[in-house]
Amino acid sequence: MDSHKNIFADFNNLGTTSNVDLVCLSHLRWDFVYQRPQHLLSRFAKERRVFFFEEPVFDAERMHLDVSERDCGVRVVVPHLPAELNSNEAREAVLFGMINRLFEEQKIGEHILWYYTPMALGWTKHLKPAAVVYDCMDELSAFKNAPASLKEREADLFNRADLVFTGGQSLYEAKRHLHKNIYPFPSSIDAQHFAQARSIAADPADQASIPRPRLGFFGVIDERMDIELLDAVAKERPDWHLVMVGPIVKIDEADLPRRPNIHYLGGKSYKELPSYLAGWDVALLPFARNESTRFISPTKTPEYLAAGCVVVSTSIRDVVRPYGELGLVYIADTPDEFIAALESAMNDKDPATRIRHVDEFLSRISWDETWGRMAELIEDVVTARRASKIAQPALTAQAAQASSAQSFVTGD
């Protein structure tokens, strides 16, 4: 009788999963650029422990694991390895031991594995999670310097995952046949944060002296940037000033266009961005159209709009749909078309109507809502798995009792 009571008690507690830790395996650095992972995982950290396991840093004479907590509650885990551990096999063997040590030292029991990089499968396959989530925010195999084995590892991750989320609608359409529980979660918005730009009057010091009109971009400057387009716009309109805010990665800085009216201001914190946006006449999405941008869903699109900026973008599919189709963003590709779109953007005759349409659209999306929908889906997986574990012993015991009763009746 007591065992039945325990089983019923367990079933009553199925919906409580806040004590389940979340361990994220990421190719991105937590402190690099504040984007999708930070928005989502900082929200998960409000209700459970979250560990953000980064790729190794090869700077140590002695291997060690650095664990430090950020203000939002996320615990950032950085493996420090010696430079000579440059082979994939040796590196994965070390990381295998490090993830085990993390689980032991932090007393991680029931947990969710959340992957941003399929490459982490090589040293996490042995773990026994309550749920496996793959937040596929980009087509990583199309990025510069992508590992040769990435596609194979991703196929393996699709087989292991309970849930797959995609960073945009086009990526969902490309991968939806690969998993039965796959959901599109396009880039969302912390509208209140970026709306501060609408009321900021003072320019940051490094932007204040730049003449107007200013055409601004913030984000990572890498192989996805159409640098030929930037150069053509700056050349054709020397009276326009292009303000480029963000770190330069994976491309040679010498390859970037250098003109008196192009200003590279470097990376800025998430907190600082509204101050820069407040001083722009147009916000830019000057992405190249290539394999690395085929499935991107730029988080900065709704962020620009929330700041009150008029936006001009190349024809990135997840910008065209829905923003271009709804008339919220100008779309242009060639230098002549882009310049014409910029001129139209700067001659906006009815900014009040534009802002009203923007706010109506943005009122339907938020990172809180995205996180809430994801959390419900994860809760369902964890609850179902718990129920299965509880029910199995009960069914086994019931079958044993039935067998025993049958034996008594038949005299066996």
Q: What is the pLDDT of residues 25-62, one digit of tens each?
A: 999 999 999 999 999 999 999 999 999 999 999 998 88
pLDDT in tens, 235-293: 999 999 999 999 999 899 999 999 999 999 999 999 999 999 999 999 999 999 999 99
pLDDT at 407: 46
Mean pLDDT along residues 66-85: 95
Q: Does 12 have pLDDT greater than 60?
A: no
CA–CA dist 338, 282 (Å, integer)? 12
pLDDT in tens, 183-208: 999 989 999 999 999 999 999 999 99
CA–CA dist 131, 164 (Å, integer)? 11
Residue 4 lies in a domain: no
The set of residues, in sequence order, having a beta carbon less than 8 Å from that of 347 and lying 6+ positions away, is: none
The two tokens of residue 59 are 């700077």
CA–CA dist 118, 356 (Å, integer)? 41
- One domain, residues 182 and 196: no
Domain that holds residue 237: 191-362
The two tokens of residue 290 are 């290539």
Residue 280 lies in a domain: yes
Which of the two residues, 4 and 74, has the higher pLDDT score?
A: 74
CA–CA dist 233, 37 (Å, integer)? 33
CA–CA dist 265, 247 (Å, integer)? 9
Residue 372 lies in a domain: yes
Q: For 193, phi and psi rounded to 5 degrees?
A: -65, -50
- One domain, residues 174 and 255: no
168 residue type, one letter: G
Residue 174 lies in a domain: yes
Which of the two residues, 399 and 45, has the higher pLDDT score?
A: 45
- One domain, residues 166 and 30: yes
Residue 230 lies in a domain: yes
pLDDT in tens, 297-317: 999 999 999 999 999 999 999
The two tokens of residue 305 are 């709009």
User: DSSP labels for 95-131?
Assistant: HHHHHHHHHHHTT--SEEEEES-GGGGGGTTT---SE
CA–CA dist 51, 79 (Å, integer)? 13
pLDDT in tens, 340-365: 999 999 999 899 999 999 999 999 99
Residue 330 lies in a domain: yes
Q: Does 405 have pLDDT greater than 80?
A: no
- One domain, residues 249 and 322: yes
- One domain, residues 177 and 266: no
User: Given pLDDT bands bounded at 50, 70 and 90, which one contains residue 392?
Assistant: low
User: CB–CB of 361/370 below 8 Å?
Assistant: no
What is the SS3 assignment for 311?
A: strand
pLDDT at 4: 46
- One domain, residues 202 and 164: no
pLDDT at 145: 85
Residue 377 lies in a domain: yes
pLDDT at 62: 87
| Average pLDDT, rounded, for the chain | 91
pLDDT at 11: 43
Distance of CA 175 to CAs 135, 148, 169, 296, Å?
12, 19, 10, 14
13-22, 66-75, 89-98, 136-145 — which one is most confidently predicted on average? 66-75
CA–CA dist 104, 110 (Å, integer)? 12
- One domain, residues 351 and 373: no
CATH number of the domain that residue 144 is part of: 3.40.50.2000
- One domain, residues 92 and 200: no
User: Given pLDDT bands bounded at 50, 70 and 90, which one contains residue 90?
Assistant: confident
Q: Does 8 have pLDDT greater than 60?
A: no
Q: % helix / strand / coil in the chain, to the nearest 5?
A: 45, 15, 40
Q: Does 410 have pLDDT greater than 90?
A: no
Residue 411 lies in a domain: no
The two tokens of residue 202 are 């003072």
- One domain, residues 140 and 269: no
Residues above pLDDT 70, as percent of the chain: 91
Determine how many CB atoms are found less than 10 A away from the CB of residue 299.
22
Instruction: Please tell me the least confidently modeled range out of 130-139, 238-247, 259-268, 392-401.
Output: 392-401
| Count of domains forming the chain | 2
User: CB–CB of 310/354 below 8 Å?
Assistant: yes
- One domain, residues 119 and 251: no
User: DSSP labels for 330-377?
Assistant: EE--SHHHHHHHHHHHHT-S-HHHHHHHHHHHHTT--HHHHHHHHHHH
Residues in the chain: 412
Q: For 8, phi and psi rounded to 5 degrees?
A: -65, -40
pLDDT in tens, 325-341: 999 999 999 999 999 99
- One domain, residues 179 and 195: no
- One domain, residues 308 and 265: yes
In 3D space, the residue among 215, 216, 214, 198 whose CA is nearest the CA of residue 274 turns out to be: 198
Instruction: Please tell me the least confidently modeled range out of 24-33, 93-102, 351-360, 390-399.
Output: 390-399
User: Given pLDDT bands bounded at 50, 70 and 90, which one contains residue 118?
Assistant: very high
User: CB–CB of 116/67 below 8 Å?
Assistant: no
Between CA 42 and CA 309, with CA 173 as vertex, the angle to 5 degrees is 55
pLDDT at 53: 98
